[in-house]
Amino acid sequence: MPGRPGAAARAVLDAAGVRARSVSLLPDRDSRILGLAAAEVPGLPAEPFEAGRQDTVVVAYGLGATARDPRGAAALEQLRERVPGQVLHEHAGCWTDPPPVAADSVTLLHQSAVAPWAGGLRQGADGGVEQGDADPRPEKEIAASVVAADPEPDEGDGQTPADPVEGTGRHRPNRSRGRADTGRTGRGGGRVRHGRA
């Protein structure tokens, strides 16, 4: 997500002339964490999703995961017909498995993505691949760490080749820390990387 959490959603809201008064939280854990972080930046209240709430941005980390949550599937059904001022933003949209409802904005498109706080794959002590543990901290604490994170990319480890800065002919250091960067941008301008999104 470019800059601070909620930056892409804010840009879409501004372009549409919508003045959100709240952030609506979908029931799956990843969406609640991202929604709490997105609400913190502009100082909006974060409230559980209600179908009839107007002037709100509904934040989803990934609508596919939301659809797999029984309460999330019901919420997405209600989001097929949105009320005035209700905008659905998805952070990581899977282009190979479209969700049951389309978001108004998407930060990045992916084929496979794992939230930074979810249990991803890692190298085990025996050198094999194993499932890592999810961040056990409470959702509000994880969201606060997302908001507090430095939005500027780090300089990387210097071991990977430079990425071209699109359209300029210049290069910049690859900051992917071992993740493969496809060099393409997803819908919404997010870089497409294989690994954590």
Any domain includes 128: no
How many angstroms separate the CA atoms of 72 and 185, rounded? 28
Beta strands in the chain (DSSP E): 22-25, 46-48, 56-60, 86-94, 105-110, 113-114, 121-123, 129-131, 163-164, 171-172, 180-185, 191-196
Question: What CATH number corresponds to the domain at position 18?
Answer: 3.40.50.2020
Per-residue pLDDT 10s for the chain (197 aa) are 445 555 665 676 777 777 899 999 999 999 999 999 999 988 999 999 999 999 999 999 999 999 999 999 999 999 999 999 999 999 999 999 999 999 999 999 999 999 999 988 889 999 999 999 999 999 999 999 999 998 887 777 878 777 665 555 554 444 444 444 434 444 444 444 444 45
Domain count, the chain: 1
Q: Which domain holds residue 33?
A: 7-118+137-149
Any domain includes 15: yes
Any domain includes 174: no
Q: What is the pTM of this model?
A: 0.74
Any domain includes 183: no
Any domain includes 187: no
pLDDT tens digits along 43-53: 999 999 999 99
Any domain includes 64: yes
SS3 80: coil
